[in-house]
Chain A
Amino acid sequence: MIQVKTRLINRQMCMRLSVFALVMFGFGYAMVPYYKKFCEVTGINNLLQPSLSKGEVSNTQIDKSRWVTMEFDANAHGMPWQFGPIQRSVRVHPGEMIQVAFEIKNTGNSTLVGQAIPSYGPKHSAAFVKKLECFCFKQQVLAAGESRQMPVQFVIDPALPASVNTVTLSYTFFEVPAADKKNVSAPAVAAGSAG
C-alpha cells in the first residue's frame, strides 16, 4: 500500500497541478484582452478601428497627386424649366467622393415630367465618371412654379487618362411623352449603379 509520506507528496503534487490547470483556464480568458491589444497594436483584423469609431473614413484609393476640374453645364430642351448647377465647377482628386447639387424650377403653368440625359466632354471620359446618385436616374415631375435642389454624387476613376485634366458634365432635360411616363420620382432619390 501507499506509504504516508508518498501520500503527502502526492497530495502536494495534486494541488500544484490543479492550480496549474486553473491558471491555464484563466490563460484562456487572458487571451481575450491580449488578442484585442495585439490586434490594436499591429493593426490586424481590427473590428474597432479607432479611425472608424471617430467617424473618419479613410480612403486609400484617392490619387492625391493630381487634380481634375469638373465643370457642370445644364440645359432644358424645349421646356419652360430653369435648370442650372449650384457650382459651375469643382476641383477634385481622382478617387474622391464628391457631391454637388443642381437646381431646377418649372416656370411654366402646367405640371411637366422631364428626364435629364447626361453627356460628357471629352466624350471618352464618360466611362471614368462613376455616378453613385443622380437625378438623371429617374424622371422628374414638377408642378407649375415648383422648384427643387437635386444632388449628384460621383467619383472620378483614378484610371482617367493623365492627359485629361478637365471633364465637363452636361445635363439636358427633355420632356417625357405621356406614354413613357414610368419610374417617376418626385424628390429625386435614386440609388443605382454608376451611370
Chain B
Amino acid sequence: MSTATHDHAHGHSHDGGHAHDDHAHDHKPYGMMRWLGSTNHKDIGTMYLWFSFTMFLVGGVMALIIRAELFQPGLQIVRPEFFNSMTTYHGLIMVFGAIMPAFVGFANWLIPMQIGAPDMAFPRMNNLSFWLLPPAAMLLIAAQFAPGGGAGVGWTMYAPLTTQAGPAMDLTIFAVHILGMSSIMGSINIITTILNMRAPGMTLMKMPLFCWTWLITAYLLVASMPVLAGAVTMTLTDRHFGTNFFNAAGGGDPVLYQHIFWFFGHPEVYIIAIPAFGVVSQVIPAFSRKPLFGYASMVYATASIAILSFMVWAHHMYTVGMPVEAQLYFMYATTLIAIPTGVKVFNWVATMWKGSLTFETPMLFALGFLFLFSLGGFTGLVLSIVPVDVQLHDTYYVVAHFHYVMVAGALFSAFAGIYFWLPKWTGRMYNETLGKWHFWLSLIFFNVTFFVQHFLGLAGMPRRVPDYALQFAEFNMISSIGAFGFGLSQLLFLYVVVKCITSGEKAEQKQWEGADSLEWTHLPSPAPYHSFVTPPALK
C-alpha cells in the first residue's frame, strides 16, 4: 500500500511522543486512490461519517418535503404518490444511510484505538463494506426516477403493497440487499477485531463501554440483518418468480411478512440505539470527571436489552389480529425492556452525581440525549400497552415516539460523539460558541417539530397521509416550522465541522480533562495515520 511519496498534506504531525516504530507506515497514497483503495480504519471511518452526513442531508430534504406538504391541510405541493415515496425513502435513507453508517464510522475510528489494535481485523473487507454503501444509496435515489415513481410502501415495506408496487420496488430491494451485506461484513469485522485484536492486558471488562456496545450491536446485526435479507428476497420472488410467501390467493399470508420484518426490525431499533448508549457512556464520565458508574451493570444491561430485543417483535403489530394471550406476552416482554434501560439511565445520572461537571458541546448533546431519549422511552412504554396501542397504532403519536428515540436519541448522541472526538480526529478544536448554538437550536427546533406530534397522534391524526382534517392544522404548522428550523440548524453543524478541519485551533493530546480511554491517553491529536503498530503497554 505504501508509495514512496511523503504526503503530509493533511496536517499530520508526528511529534506527539507516541511509542510507534516509524518505518514507512505513515505514508499514504494521493488523492482519489487513497480513498477508493483505502484499508486504513481511520480513512474508512472518515468516509463512513461523510457518507452518513450526505445521506442525512438527502433524507432531511425528503423530511422537509413531507413537512412542507403538511404545513397546511389539503394538497398543495406534491402528489400523494410522491408524498408516500418521500415517507418511504426518508425512513430507509435515515435508518440505513445516515444513522447506521454514522455509528459504523465511529466504530472504525475508535475501536482499534480504544483497544490498542493497529487496525481492524479485515482491512480489505472493511473497504468493501464501505464502498457497497454508495451504490446502495444510488439505487435508493434512482428508485425515484423509475417508471411510476418511488415505491410508496413505507420503510417497513409491508406486503401485499410491495408485491404490487412498480419497478422502484426492485431497486429498493436490491439496495436493502447491498446495505445488509455491508452491515454484515462490517459487523464480522468489528466482532473479530474486538475479540482477537485487543492489546495484551486489555481484558473485555476493561474495554471502554463504547467497544462493548459495538460488540453487542455487531452480534445483533449478524443475527438480524440476514432475516431482513430473507424477507425482501421473499418479496422479490413473490413479485417475479411465482412464489406465494405473502400472496393470500396462493396460500401465503401478508401478516407473515410483518412477523419476519419485525423479527429483524426490533433488534434494528437497538442496533441504532446501543452504539448511541456507548457514545454517551464515554462522554458523560469525561465531563463529570468521574469513572462511569456501574460499568459491569452497564455491560449486562446492554446485553439484556439485546437479548430481549429478539423476543418482543410483535408489539409493532398488535392490531393484525393476534390472540389476547400473544398480546399479553408481547406487552409484558416489552415493558420488561424498561428495566435494563432504566439501569442505564440511572447509571448515567449516577455518574454525574457529585461530579465536577462542565457543559461543553459534547456534554450538552449527551444531556439532551439523556432527557429526550428517556422521554422517547416513556412514550414507548405507553405504546407497549396493548389497549393504548390499539388506539395509537399508526398515528402521529408513534411518529413522535420514534423520532424522540432516533433523532434526540441516536442523532444527538452522534453529534455528542463528533464534537467529542473531532479534536482527536482532526487535531483541531471546533468553535465552542457555535457548537453550543448548534445544540440549542437543534434542541429547541427538535421539540417544536416533534413534541406537538404527540398531541396530533392522541387526537387521531394518521401517519403517512399527505392530507389531514382541519382540526390538526395548528399543530402541523408548528411542527413544519420546527422541521425547517431543525434542518437549517444542521447547516450550522456542517459549517462548524468544516471550520474546525480547516482553521480550528490546535487541539491537545488530551483535549478533555476527564477522558480516559487509550486514544486520549496514548495517542497525540490528530491521531497518527497508523497507531498502535506495537501494542501499548497497559497497566
Contacts and interface: CB of A to CB of B under 8 A. Distances in A.
A44 B188 contact: no
A25 B230 contact: yes
Interface stretch (A26-34, A79-87, A103-111): A26-34
B122 A20 contact: no
Interface in A1-36: 1-2, 6, 9-10, 13-14, 17-18, 20-22, 24-29, 31-32, 35-36
**Chain A binding site: helix, strand, loop or mixed by DSSP?**
helix
A58 interface: no
Nearest to B245: A32
**Size bracket, chain B contacts:** 35 or more
B225 interface: yes
B124 to A, nearest CB: 12
Contact of B230 (A13, A29, A39, A47): A29
A28 B229 contact: yes
A61 interface: no
Given A28-B227, A32-B245, A44-B323, A10 B256 contact: no
A17 B118 contact: no
A35 B225 contact: no
B248 A47 contact: yes
Contact of A6 (B196, B253, B326): B196
Contacts of B222: 17, 20-21, 24
Nearest to B188: A17
Contacts of A26: 230
B196 A9 contact: yes
A25 B229 contact: yes
Given A14-B188, A31-B260, A21 B118 contact: no
Interface in A25-58: 25-29, 31-32, 35-36, 39, 42, 44-45, 47-48
A128 B417 CA distance: 72
B191 A6 contact: no
Contact of A17 (B192, B224, B230, B321): B192
Interface of B: 118-119, 121-122, 125, 184, 187-188, 191-192, 195-197, 222-231, 234, 245, 248, 251, 253, 255-256, 259-260, 263-264, 320-323, 326, 533
20 contacts: A1-B533, A2-B119, A2-B121, A6-B196, A14-B192, A17-B187, A20-B222, A21-B188, A24-B222, A24-B223, A24-B227, A27-B226, A28-B226, A28-B263, A35-B253, A35-B256, A36-B253, A44-B323, A45-B322, A47-B248
